[in-house]
Structure 1
């Protein structure tokens, strides 16, 4: 079966390294590394988590 234009590969195959590079690249694309706001750039997982949590608490209430 095709998934995102990459053929399904069998583990141990010559394409295993290629398959893992594709899978890791997709994971990296989905990850938010930093946010640029009027207050400045927010970097780091814990800082992002705190900023996003406070944003939605202000937006929707506790």
Structure 2
């Protein structure tokens, strides 16, 4: 299956990380606040960009 993959042009462009939480989810505001707090901590510790880079690598290294 991997050999059937074809690179598309133009390349997919990077978009900012976004999360969506349904307001029908119990405690949705707490969950959203928790995610945002964790992102803030990662940014303060200069870990956020490394996290994104690592996740992008996982997408590209499928095999």
The reply to whether TM is greater than 0.5 is: no
TM-score normalised according to structure 1 size: 0.34
Higher Rg: 1
As a proportion of its length, which structure holds more strand?
1
1 or 2 for the larger relative contact order (CA 8 Å, sep ≥6)?
A: 2
TM-score normalised according to structure 2 size: 0.33
